A and B are shown apart, each in its own frame.
Chain A
Amino acid sequence: MSPPPQIEFRGIAKRFPGVQALDGVSFSVAPGSCHALIGENGAGKSTLGKILAGILSADAGTLLLEGRPITPATPLEARALGIAMVHQELAFCPNLSVAENLCLGDLPTRRGGWVDRAALHRRARALLAEIGADLDPARLIGSLSTAQEQLVQIAAAIGTGARVIVMDEPSSSLSAGETRELFRLVRSLTARGITLVYVSHRLEELFALCDTLTVLRDGRHVWTGPIRQTTPGEVVTRMIGRELRVETPTHLTQTLGAEVLRVEDLSSPGRFSGVELSLRAGEVVGLAGLVGAGRSETLQAIFGLDPRAEGRVFVRGQPLRLGSVDAALAAGLGLLPEDRKRQGLVLGLTCRENVSLAALPALSRFGWVRRAAERTQARHFSERLRVKAPNIESLVAGLSGGNQQKIALAKWLARSCDILLIDEPTRGVDVGAKAEIYPLLDELAREGKAILVVSSELPELLGLCRRILVMRAGRLVGDVPRADATEASLMRLMAGVAADCAA
């Protein structure tokens, strides 16, 4: 009889408001293996990693560690079971030193509560040496690079006796040299018998490092098997193939108007560089890319929110002053941001007040808000966008994600923006509201509005757009017309997999 798997997932399910993140996922991870977890943005791979590490808890299903069911409710409980996670979010106190962070749960003290600094540094140095990391334990965490902070996280995990380490996109913000270092460390960890669950969407990396691979799609388990038995092309095919939920939009048949937005050589240090694009009245253009490719950053720079942006942006042939939201607004641009609760809406105000937020100058006379006009406008747009709210005086905080998104969109329609930059139109929006938002965008395009839409959901872009631009690592790497665009072709561009691999 073979030994039980290190980790086994049995029918794991997790629901977030409006979206089923995981739906009955079952597979197992062999001891001492480096197990890759891959899928598109939003496929559920990070959620699964977080459930294993006790950051989230599953709604249904069983988690088994060496054959015994476990229910880690907190990261601390997972730690006690020997499961740790290395992730991008701040895991440490940036204002304390490496040594203090490493020993935070159990600071060596002398009598009277004095911190034993010598013992502290000795212990920290031993932990770092364990993984071959050459770091001064006295340095502040805040002064470290992402790669160095990862080393400290891994040292902390090993130090607490972790046998399973979940790594969530560990290479996403590393340089090439740092990535090589990471690979060396990963190999040395598996050589010591530590089991790694490696979450990534970089195919070449997984093929270089991992021995087993699991593909998730739309929260469902698609395939698990030895990595030697598959190819990057096959994996791409398995990752995609979501159902197309978008009806063919009607704006595609109309003739396009004049060019309204042209971006030339737009760059922002460390975010993206050399972005060129053009948008015509009535056109819907998609912007695809993996997380971190610089899509949202590009939209924000066009909208004047990035003071370090350089390059040229023309609106209807007129140069647009960069780094100024005022200038962008005056030129008729509107940005529907990705994080609508933080950037798009004032949750404590009513629907009416949010709709008129950007249109106050037009709605007021001598500084007085014309309340009748404001109410009429709010009513008009909430009817037009079919906002489901008790009435226009309801607080936005109480609306569902889809209805909040409609209010955020109404804000720009109330200002009669004719160039809309839309970042993740359906993030955190339930299926029903999605089906309402797509025709709405179609309708806006038919009215002659130019729409640039960023989305992590490829079917959404494939369904909505006339053209899809693809970004990878801060650069524009493709401009695919609708007829040639498939999930596979876009995914290959996004992940940087050569076309012949997919054969």
Chain B
Amino acid sequence: MSELALHIPNGIIGIPTSLVFGLIAAIVVGVCVVAARRGLDERLVPLAGLATAFIFAAQMLNFPVAAGVSGHLLGGALAAALLGPWLGVLCVTVVIGVQALLFADGGVTALGMNVVNMAVISTFVAYGVIALALKILGRTRTGLTAAVFAASVAGVVAASAGFVLEFAIGGEAPQSLGEVAGAILSVHVLIGVGEGLITAVAVTAVALTRPDLVYALRGSRLLGTSLEKETV
């Protein structure tokens, strides 16, 4: 679960494309600030700050997958399920910005594209899938787990599809688009499955103890869970 196509560095996508995506990122993040403030007003800064600290911690959970390969979460679906799309985008954006400026992870010229892929596309797609799947599957424990799992896979794959799109517009490498798309999308389906398993269990664990904190459930508790279970 390394982040192969994510955290785009400098020099893989041309400057005009980078600037266009930088502009898109700035506009979407601006909209998210307004929308998140409507929901939280003056609580926004402390709550979003702590939620972002949590996403940091989630990304820091490096765990060995196989010899020499360790993985960590990307967190888009996690943020979408627990915090909702607006706050989720803000938190993941802050994480990406900090990683680029404080830890040199991801190119400065690619900041806009990284935000669009990992924060905007991944979070919005994941939230859309959760909302839809919860309607179809019902607000049960299994329903939530399945919805979050599907959302994580969709979110990760959509983020990598964002990279493929940017590469198609302004790529500075020789491979044909088909090869790039095939390789990247197939790798990210695998990454998405791993991410999905962990995110689904984590969100379900939160839903069983504090369903009010799961944005995707909008305050209602899961059907079929007794109060006894909730207070465990």
A binds B: no
